[in-house]
Structure 1
Amino acid sequence: MQAVILAAGFGSRMGGALPKPLKPLFGLPLIDHNIIKLREIVGEENIIVVYSNKALADHIKERFPRIQLAFNSRPERENGYSLLFSEGLIKDNFILTMADHYFSDDFISNLRLDSPNKAFVSRFCDDRDEATKVKTEGIYITDIGKTLKDYDYFDTGMFFCNKDIFPYIEKLSKEREIVKLSDVFGAMAKEKKLTYQLIEGYWIDIDTQSELTKAERFIRNNLSKPTDGPVSKYINRKISTLITPLLIGRIKPNTLTLILSVMGIIPSILMAYGHFFLGGILTQLISSLDGCDGEIARITHTKSRLGGVLDSTLDRYSDSLIFFCSFMPFSGLLEAKIALLLTLAGTILISYTSHLTGCRPRFITRDVRLLLVMIGGILSLIRPIYMLHTMLFIGIVSHIGVFFNLLSFAKKEKTTKQNFAL
């Protein structure tokens, strides 16, 4: 299996000196998003990029040294003719796509690469006037083009092909100067040589800066996780998704995890010396940045079990240190010693039981606990003892969360057994 990315266009509508495939999209050049996703299917060494710009070639050689490059000396003859320059590198079946298209992860994961000469089509399109439309009949595409009035779906710019496509390109290139992919696939469609698969995932053809902005908005809105608590969802993600594009390509996720954990020592020291306000503010700031490592991993497809375990483990260390240090200024009080035991046990057990049961009370997730630390720091400006009361409150609510987990799990187990008995 191979993949061909056509990246030899001029991109005149986008403007600027930078080639369109190198325009940054959420911290990564546009073409990198496609390469990162396709190499998981075919491997980096089986990706071919057809280019005409030296800056693009230099970027590929530096960033993805195993990719094969094919130079297009006639980019003015359009994208159909551009594919012809990859012919000598093609062995059999290959995925074909464009460097200026963005495809979501679920779009890519839904591709069926069973039989070649297939177009991946969609009911959705961002710009109907500019989109290439397809008319279908049964399993075949019967017509394809931008000017179709009667059509069923939109061409997404993703195809699954084999070497049978090249005779069509060669024939058309002898007949006309401009050879578009829609012309090539149109010729195949007339002979019922082109099938299709309907895809539900998000995609967008990026020709203008506004479309680039739409793609970035989609990425930002889809970086949240199902396990995000309310503070992460409505506050922290808004901050982290602004910072993450600045960090992508500059730091690895696990390295950032370690750095943020070390940074967590600073508010702990401030807490230990009674500077609750500054310690609380820094605690919430670090909590807001805590999502950046995971966001980088998801965007660059470098997620790993090690990274997840490391992140979760270091979070427990950081939380325990912050909570412990926040009680140190009150160490002479019996109330503080009881509250410390209650809080440390509660915050550890809430995480542990959530992991074991799969239940997760939204009212006391980690992001909520750390926001409460900041609130306690602010209240300490009125009276320092309010910090102790806040930590005690966190401990009590955490134990309520533990009880909630156990109760929810017991109900789930009872329902499962009843269904099994039926």
Structure 2
Amino acid sequence: MLNILGRDAISRALTPVGTSLARKGVSPNAITVTGTIGVVLFAAIFYPKGPHWFFLGSLLITLCVLMDMLDGAVARASGRPTKFGGVLDSSCDRVADAAIFGALAWYYGLRHDRWMLLAALLCLVLGALTSYIRARAEGAGLTATVGIAERAERLIVVLVGAGFTGLFGPKAILAVALWLLVAASTITVWQRFATVYQQSRALDRAPVG
């Protein structure tokens, strides 16, 4: 949803920065990899330390996530967008998402908090499934870009939830955020399966020749 409503505006805002970096010869793939490494490191360093570190970790992760949009601006400005860059970007997104939810699962697993561990793991699995359905659909010539919890929404909810938990303390803030994401991601998976099914049925009923 936010991908549709906000991506164009954000892309326009990042265009001057992307143009400047492209002129300096900065590679969009290097930005992608650097941002992903940053997310992995900050998630692994700060989230397992506990809620007192959640705010700082979430803030630094957010800055790295923003690089995910900057790499596209650099690629467009340099006139060198490539298929490899698209594959690398999507793959790095999955790594970054896994690092965030995996680090939270690690923290709550060490403290034997079964419900928070389960919520984090479900968010990780459902988020990956959401992206996988879209990739498989596009490979089959279909589209599956619908859903109330695409990557942007998932990241906003988990990072805001973790950040507020770090600022104000109650675990309930992050608990609500994670279980809300579980529900929204489940709905999104259903929406994408339903969309692909409808498109597939329409193609099956289409006259041949």
| Same fold per superposition (TM over 0.5) | yes
| Partner in structure 2 of residue 295 of structure 1 | 73
Q: Are 2:180 and 1:393 equivalent residues in the alignment?
A: yes
| Partner in structure 2 of residue 305 of structure 1 | 83
Structure 2 counterpart of 1:393, which letter? L
| Partner in structure 2 of residue 370 of structure 1 | 155
Q: Which deviations, in whole Å up to 9, do the C-alpha atoms of 1:235-290 show, x marking residues without a partner? A: x4365335323312321111111111111124302222222222222333322221
The alignment partner of 2:206 has SS state of helix
Q: Which deviations, in whole Å up to 9, do the C-alpha atoms of 1:299-354 show, x marking residues without a partner? A: 22211121111111111111101111123332211102321331111010000001
| Partner in structure 2 of residue 264 of structure 1 | 39
- Mapped to 2, the partners of 1:406 and 1:350 lie a distance apart of 9
| Partner in structure 1 of residue 108 of structure 2 | 330
Q: Are 2:58 and 1:280 equivalent residues in the alignment?
A: yes
Q: Tell which has more relative contact order, 1 or 2 (C-alpha 8 A, sep 6+).
A: 2
Structure 1 gaps, min length 5? 1-226
Q: Is the Cα contact below 8 Å between 1:346 and 1:396 reproduced in 2?
A: no
| Partner in structure 1 of residue 14 of structure 2 | 240
Paired positions, count: 195
Q: Is the Cα contact below 8 Å between 1:229 and 1:365 reproduced in 2?
A: no
- Mapped to 2, the partners of 1:384 and 1:232 lie a distance apart of 31
Structure 2 counterpart of 1:346, which letter? L
Once the two structures are superposed, the pairs formed by residues 128-167 of structure 1 within 5 Å of their partners are none
Q: Which deviations, in whole Å up to 9, do the C-alpha atoms of 1:353-396 show, x marking residues without a partner? A: 01122211242121111111222024313313422331232233
Quick one: which of 121, 138, 146 aligns to 1:361? 146
Alignment CA distance shift 1:404-1:265 (3 Å) = same
- Mapped to 1, the partners of 2:199 and 2:104 lie a distance apart of 37
Once the two structures are superposed, the pairs formed by residues 13-28 of structure 1 within 5 Å of their partners are none
Q: Is the Cα contact below 8 Å between 1:230 and 1:362 reproduced in 2?
A: no
- Is the deviation greater in 307-316 or in 388-397? 388-397
| Partner in structure 1 of residue 140 of structure 2 | none
Q: Is the Cα contact below 8 Å between 2:19 and 2:77 reproduced in 1?
A: no
Alignment CA distance shift 1:364-1:347 (3 Å) = same
- Mapped to 1, the partners of 2:93 and 2:73 lie a distance apart of 16
User: Is the radius of gyration larger for structure 1 or structure 2?
Assistant: 1
Once the two structures are superposed, the pairs formed by residues 204-219 of structure 1 within 5 Å of their partners are none
Bigger proportion of residues as helix: 2
Structure 2 counterpart of 1:355, which letter? A
Structure 2 gaps, min length 5? 138-142
Quick one: which of 240, 253, 257 aligns to 2:28? 253
- Mapped to 1, the partners of 2:147 and 2:84 lie a distance apart of 26
Alignment CA distance shift 1:327-1:360 (3 Å) = same
- Mapped to 1, the partners of 2:12 and 2:178 lie a distance apart of 26
The alignment partner of 2:58 has SS state of helix
Alignment CA distance shift 1:395-1:232 (3 Å) = farther
- Mapped to 2, the partners of 1:361 and 1:281 lie a distance apart of 28
Instruction: Please report the TM-score for the alignment, with normalisation by the length of structure 2.
Output: 0.82
- Mapped to 1, the partners of 2:181 and 2:150 lie a distance apart of 11
Report % sequence identity: 23
Q: Is the Cα contact below 8 Å between 1:287 and 1:367 reproduced in 2?
A: no
Q: Is the Cα contact below 8 Å between 1:231 and 1:367 reproduced in 2?
A: no
Q: Which deviations, in whole Å up to 9, do the C-alpha atoms of 1:82-105 show, x marking residues without a partner? A: xxxxxxxxxxxxxxxxxxxxxxxx
Alignment CA distance shift 1:240-1:246 (3 Å) = same
The alignment partner of 1:363 has SS state of coil
- Mapped to 1, the partners of 2:87 and 2:14 lie a distance apart of 20
Instruction: Please report the TM-score for the alignment, with normalisation by the length of structure 1.
Output: 0.43
Task: State the Cα RMSD in Å.
Answer: 2.3
TM-superposed CA distance for 1:420, in Å, is 2.2
Bigger proportion of residues as strand: 1
Alignment CA distance shift 1:296-1:344 (3 Å) = same
- Mapped to 1, the partners of 2:115 and 2:202 lie a distance apart of 42
Structure 2 counterpart of 1:243, which letter? V
